[in-house]
Structure 1
Amino acid sequence: MSETTDIIQELLQGVGLAADYRTDSLTLLEKGESRYVRDLKLNFTSTLTSEQLSNKECALLGLSTAINNNNKPLTVFFTKYAEEQGCTPEEIADAVGCASLLASNNIFYRFRHFTQKEKYTQIPARIRMQIMMKPATGKEFFELMSLAISAVNGCEMCVNAHENSLIQMGTTEERVFDAVRIASLVTSMGKVVF
């Protein structure tokens, strides 16, 4: 067995998948003896802890990102990890709700931003967002998840709005940066494990 295969098996077992689980992407990396699989494993492992975020927050960010990206294996993994970190069912539901809400918001506000027509900013959005008012995860962390998901979804207007809100709440730029880093690495993992 090759070193690449060993690393892939460790990576898969780390997320609760069988050692022989393969996607087309993983197979191509394995056949090419890609050195990238070591980076992928280390990068993904770094999503579980942070100097700026608690393990619980890392778990919820990972879960929200996995839900946003429609990635079943990572959703299962991060749900279990969130439970292990003491997340309540309500906090887990907030992570899921955040991904769903931001899917609509990111499309809608990206449209407004792209068109740059004043008329569209005057028409009410009519998108219910009650979850943002009193989230189980707390207002600051829900904003942080919203920013990370908006970054993944590529909504400049939403990223700027959430980042501004977070800075006004006193959130450090390092905390913001790490949340987006985690979301980006979970998204990266989802390109080969899905």
Structure 2
Amino acid sequence: MSIEDLKNLIPDFAKDVRLNLTSMLSDEALEPQTKYGLFLASAIATRNPIVVAALESLAAEHLTPAAIAAAKAAASVMAMNNIYYRFAHLASNKEYAGMPARLRMNVIANPGIAKTDFELWSLAVSAINGCGACIDAHEKVLQEAGVASSAIQTAVRFAAIIQSVAIAIEAGSSSLADAAE
């Protein structure tokens, strides 16, 4: 699926989403690997197969196989971590926060690409998944690595746009299904 196909699936009620997607695609605030890996990791986090297919196709034009694998790894490991650490953070019983997670996450230390790219992708996925503890942890690592606040904000903005594309497409699909009944 192409990006044009994806844009065409966004219903008219979500014109702002379509415009945001268009502007995001042409935004050059992030380096290409950072940007396209972020697109792919965020798309996977939406769990929308249409969005994943379109952004994976786009990413494949710009990323090495190692970067594609790292984007997928960021989405996968954050899916696990975001559930666990959100629970530990939100549970009234704070005993859980002090217990060892006992989750394998070696890819965070050795992602096979620039560590800051992986951290930015992990932050974006954590924002989509709503894990405040993970957001804070990844944002801190990025700040300590000298990543500009504007780049961090751009990454989260892109994640928000990608999530809104997935929701708009879902809402448009359910509207069509409801109308057919």
Bin the TM-score by the shorter chain: 0.7 to 0.9
5+ residue gaps in structure 1?
1-11
Contact 2:37–2:59, Cα closer than 8 Å, also in 1: yes
5+ residue gaps in structure 2?
171-181
Provide TM-score, normalisation by structure 2.
0.84
What pairs up with 1:166-177 in 2 under 5 angstroms? 166-177=142-153
Distance in 1 between the 2:113 and 2:55 partners? Answer: 16
1:50 to 27, 42, 45: 27
| C-alpha RMSD of matched pairs (Å) | 2.2
1:78 pairs with 2:59: no
| Number of the residue aligned with 1:41 | 18
- Equivalent position SS for 2:167: coil
| Number of the residue aligned with 2:5 | 16
| Larger RCO (alpha carbons 8 Å, 6+ apart) | 2
1:64 pairs with 2:25: no
Contact 1:60–1:95, Cα closer than 8 Å, also in 2: yes
Contact 2:7–2:18, Cα closer than 8 Å, also in 1: no
Distance in 2 between the 1:110 and 1:94 partners? Answer: 23
Cα 1:158–1:79 shift into 2, 3 Å: same
1:159 pairs with 2:148: no
Distance in 1 between the 2:144 and 2:92 partners? Answer: 26
Distance in 1 between the 2:7 and 2:59 partners? Answer: 21
Distance in 2 between the 1:111 and 1:172 partners? Answer: 29
What pairs up with 1:24-39 in 2 under 5 angstroms? 26=11, 29=12, 34=13, 36-37=14-15, 39=16
Aligned-residue offset at 1:13:
6.4
Which structure has greater helix proportion? 2
- Which structure has the bigger radius of gyration? 1
Q: How many residues are treated as equivalent by the alignment?
A: 170
Q: Deviations over 1:18-53 (max 9, x none)?
A: 96xx6xx83xx4xxxx4x42x222201122243430
Provide TM-score, normalisation by structure 1.
0.79
- Equivalent position SS for 1:157: helix
